[in-house]
């Protein structure tokens, strides 16, 4: 059910549509999407400052769409010295198909050295306009307010209010919030509708994260985990180490541990979306194929331990 070879040998049955669909506001997406964070480094670690093979990266993006991916996550601060994720998406996929949903995020910026800086509410419009310009769009489908570690208990009213004004002005269609808490989500929802929450989440996440995921489902809000495969590796990517339960389930299905982690993520609720990213054509096919992987109750119980 999976292939690590180039796209030419991809089984015809591999499609992101097998993962089911969810609506972000009025936008319907397949639950298995694509994250572009690693694209400027050719799919390697985000912290790697080298730039990847441009043609290969453009090919991966086009192949993702051919495989039914219609939800792509990006940000203007995803760049290496020579590559920008937004520019790569624009070059590969513009003119965009009507059903393609591009989700971006604002809040963080990066100076020329790559160091992160965080926008004031007044600076968010400039970040939104930067995404519009790089992507070649006249509006953004979904914009997430990405919060910093230092904002874990801070009010989001000023920042989210600034984005709500840009939504009213027509620059943004829908809003989300990322790296957030239930309290911040509730505060944001009092200002404007929220269609998605993006948080770190995966097998082994603590109980409060599972509870937040379920709460989002109860509110009709998509939950979009990042680092679902990488786990503790975070921006550095997944290590080769996997716990015994993941390896056992993977062996039972004849799939990779990464595919088990993605399938487990999608099993957490119909409102859960996956956005695995890669610059490797074979890994792309494996990731998309994971959307069709159905885990048994026994598998899920084993992974829950």
Task: Kindly list the catalytic residues.
Answer: 78
| Cβ neighbours for 189, distance < 8 A, ≥ 6 positions apart | 219
What whole-number distance in Å separates Cα of residue 101 and Cα of residue 98? Answer: 8
What whole-number distance in Å separates Cα of residue 243 and Cα of residue 260? Answer: 12
Longest CA–CA separation in the chain, Å: 53
Question: How distant, in Å, are the alpha carbons of 24, 71, 96, 214 from that of 28?
Answer: 6, 9, 15, 20
Strands (E), 179-265: 196-200, 222-226
User: Looking up tokens 């982690």, which residue turns up?
Assistant: 261
Q: Are 174 and 141 in contact (CB under 8 A)?
A: yes
Cβ count near 81 (within 10 Å): 10
What whole-number distance in Å separates Cα of residue 181 and Cα of residue 1? Answer: 37
Residue 212 sits at φ, ψ, to 5 deg, of -65, -40
Q: Residue 294 is encoded by which pair of tokens?
A: 């159905």
Strands (E), 4-100: 21-24, 27-30, 34-35, 71-73
DSSP letter (8 states) at residue 141: E
Helix, strand, coil distribution of the chain in percent, nearest 5: 40, 20, 40
What whole-number distance in Å separates Cα of residue 201 and Cα of residue 184? Answer: 17
């Amino acid at each position: 059910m999976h292939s690590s070879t180039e796209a030419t040998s991809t089984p015809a049955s591999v499609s992101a549509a097998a993962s089911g669909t969810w609506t972000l506001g009025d936008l319907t997406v397949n639950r298995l999407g694509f994250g572009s964070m690693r694209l400027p480094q050719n799919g390697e670690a985000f912290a790697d400052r080298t730039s990847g093979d441009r043609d290969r990266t453009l090919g991966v993006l086009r192949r993702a769409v051919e495989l039914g991916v219609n939800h792509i996550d990006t940000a203007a601060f995803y760049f290496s010295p020579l590559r920008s994720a937004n520019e790569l998406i624009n070059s590969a996929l513009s003119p965009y198909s009507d059903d393609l949903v591009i989700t971006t995020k604002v809040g963080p910026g990066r100076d020329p050295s790559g160091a992160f800086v965080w926008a004031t509410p007044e600076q968010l419009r400039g970040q939104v306009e930067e995404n519009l310009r790089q992507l070649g769009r006249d509006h953004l489908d979904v914009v997430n307010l990405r919060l910093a570690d230092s904002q874990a208990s801070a009010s989001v009213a000023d920042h989210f209010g600034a984005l709500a004004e840009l939504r009213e002005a027509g620059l943004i269609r829908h809003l989300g919030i990322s790296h957030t808490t239930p309290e911040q989500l509730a505060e944001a929802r009092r200002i404007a509708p929220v269609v998605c929450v993006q948080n770190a989440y995966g097998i082994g996440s603590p109980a409060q994260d599972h509870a937040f995921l379920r709460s989002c489902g109860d509110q009709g809000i998509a939950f979009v985990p990042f680092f679902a495969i990488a786990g503790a590796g975070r921006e550095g990517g997944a290590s080769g180490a996997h716990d015994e339960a993941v390896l056992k389930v993977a062996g039972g299905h004849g799939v990779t541990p990464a595919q088990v982690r993605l399938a487990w993520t999608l099993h957490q609720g119909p409102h859960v979306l996956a956005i695995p990213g890669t610059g490797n054509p074979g890994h792309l096919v494996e990731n998309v194929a994971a959307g069709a992987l159905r885990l048994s109750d026994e598998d899920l119980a084993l992974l829950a331990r």
